Amino acid sequence: MSTSTPPVRIAAGALCAALALTLPACAQQEEGAGEPVRLETNGPEVISDADGSGVEVSRRLFGSSEAVVVASPSRQDQLRAAAIASSLGAPMLVRSDATAQAVDAEIARLGAERVVEVPGDDEAVAKTEPVASPSPEGDVAAVAVLAPARPVELVLPPMLATAQTSLAAAATARSAGAEVEVLDAPDPRSSAQSMRTVSEQDTIALGAQWGGAQRYSTLVDLADNGELPGGGGLVFPGRRMVALYGHPFAPELGMMGEQDPQAAAQTAKDYAQRYQQLEEQPVIPAFEIIVTVASNSPGDDGDYSNEAPVEAVVPWIDAITAAGGYAVLDLQPGQGDFLAQAKLYEELLKRPNVGLALDAEWKLNPGEQPLSRVGSARAEEINVVADWLAELTRANNLPQKAFVLHQFQVGMFPDRENIRTDHPELSYVLHADGHGSAEQKFDTWNVLREGLSPSFFMAWKNFIDEDQPTFTPERTYTEVQPRPWFVSYQ
């Protein structure tokens, strides 16, 4: 974090004396009279505010303040306190048993002559309505648009927040005059706007959910790597996908093989448009292309998997790209190796809208016969592929890639808890691809979600022939909870 002295609420011309700067520095300020004075920053910064009290934000942005607003932990009290803080141009703090000492120390540091307690008998409490917000998830966004009555006499950098940012942090930043941009995820790649924001100047992220300055700085660097179809640089959130699943040359493996690339891309667009009517975020078309197909014969290389030539896959990726969509390359390795097969398609994976899927159902151990059991893969096998794919993404300055794991039985990933999800270059997706009756599919969905890392986004498959019946888009998006980010049709 920057070590600059915090701003105080005084005129810019008197700033040097008030901040106890050296004489040469004061002379420089006088020569630059009329130039805006900026809060000193030193690269991307995170104010963690881990206790939710707002003390850290107040300390960073206010050198002193005539007033301070202190709320109880109650949501309504905090919403009212945020409105009062905005009207007074004052920091907002939250006092609880755990934060009382820090809050009292901050009030003393600010030299506040007026402490507005909420609830309390200050006249501002009675005459100020709480910030209007329909749900807790929207509270920070509602606070972020408050108009600051008396911003500090400094130009502040833009600040990024999420719904997990404390109301005290958001309200204090806004009272100081900072622009607060609320994102769907603690990642500056969440939107095209936030990507531009962090690329053009230093920024401050509010909240422990950003993971610290080092991680935030890494994410800021990744925000320069371009956008994905639908906008922004994250696979999810920010968009949902509806895909056709299959092999281009095998109609029995899915809808893709039943038509040429352009017709399949149009079918995917048609499906996506049906889902778009039910969703506020962009819904983009996608292909999940089986590029290595498990086989009942060993083949020339003896791995019981047939690898499609790269040049045969290109027209399909070109078609879905022209349709504004995304492609996922699916591996069914047989007795082969996930990593070795992924490397066969390295040139395709260097495209910004191409991700990777690992299908453990078709992963066999040496000596096992095809279809003798449902396949499985250990976490170590998954992690080495993730390491390679993340490095490929980073080295080629690519936006985040989808990294999809197919599962419909617990035993397919016997040590799933050891699968790492720590690469910001990858979006981890668990694809629940069981088929059958609605009850069977929901049972599979619920079992697979048990103990699942929150870093995974859930995906759902609709089978045209095997499901009883095939779910409609309406049923898929209303009955499957949480709503799947990726829906495929086979």
End-to-end CA distance of the chain: 50
Average pLDDT of span 349-353: 98
Give the 3-state secondary structure of residue 271: helix
From 92-101, 291-300, 331-340, the region with the lowest mean pLDDT: 291-300
Separation between Cα atoms, residue 389 and residue 229, nearest integer Å: 20
| Nearest residue to 53 via CA among 67, 70, 76 | 70
The answer to whether 19 and 39 are in contact (CB under 8 A) is no
Separation between Cα atoms, residue 273 and residue 319, nearest integer Å: 17
CA 193 from chain centre, in angstroms, equals 14
From 60-69, 171-180, 260-269, 368-377, the region with the lowest mean pLDDT: 368-377
Residue 12 — very low, low, confident or very high, per pLDDT cuts 50/70/90? very low
**What are the DSSP calls for 316-337, one per residue?**
HHHHHHHTT-EEEEEE--BTS-
**What are the DSSP calls for 12-72, one per residue?**
GGGHHHHTT--HHHHHHHHHTTTSPPB----SSEEE--TTSSSHHHHHHH-S--SEEEEE-
How would you write 7-27 as a 3-class SS string?
Answer: CCCCCHHHHHHHCCCCHHHHH
- 15: pLDDT strictly greater than 60: no
Match 């609880």 to its residue by tokens: 96
pLDDT given at position 1 = 37
Look at the chain and count its residues: 490
Residue 30, C-beta contacts closer than 8 angstroms, at least 6 positions apart? 13, 16
pLDDT given at position 20 = 33
Match 């002379």 to its residue by tokens: 27
Separation between Cα atoms, residue 206 and residue 213, nearest integer Å: 11
Residue 26 — very low, low, confident or very high, per pLDDT cuts 50/70/90? very low
In CATH terms, 240-489 corresponds, of 1.10.10, 2.30.30, 3.20.20, 3.30.420, to 3.20.20
| Nearest residue to 384 via CA among 332, 426, 339, 344 | 339
The answer to whether 379 and 421 are in contact (CB under 8 A) is no
The answer to whether 46 and 2 are in contact (CB under 8 A) is no
Give the 3-state secondary structure of residue 87: helix
Beta bridge partners of 461: 488
Q: What is the token pair recorded at 70?
A: 């202190």
Span 206-239, pLDDT tens digits = 999 999 999 999 999 999 999 999 999 999 999 9
Scanning 163-309, the segments in alpha helix (DSSP H) are 167-176, 192-200, 213-222, 261-276
The answer to whether 75 and 136 are in contact (CB under 8 A) is yes
- The proportion of the chain whose per-residue pLDDT surpasses 70, expressed as a percent, equals 92
CA 402 from chain centre, in angstroms, equals 12
Separation between Cα atoms, residue 389 and residue 355, nearest integer Å: 9
Residue 31 — very low, low, confident or very high, per pLDDT cuts 50/70/90? very low
Q: What is the token pair recorded at 372?
A: 């003798």
pLDDT given at position 38 = 92
Q: What is the token pair recorded at 376?
A: 């499985």
Every domain of the chain and the residues it spans: 12-222, 240-489
pLDDT given at position 34 = 66
Average pLDDT of span 173-188: 98
Q: What is the token pair recorded at 353?
A: 């809208």
Amino acid at 217: S
From 98-102, 186-190, 251-255, the region with the lowest mean pLDDT: 251-255
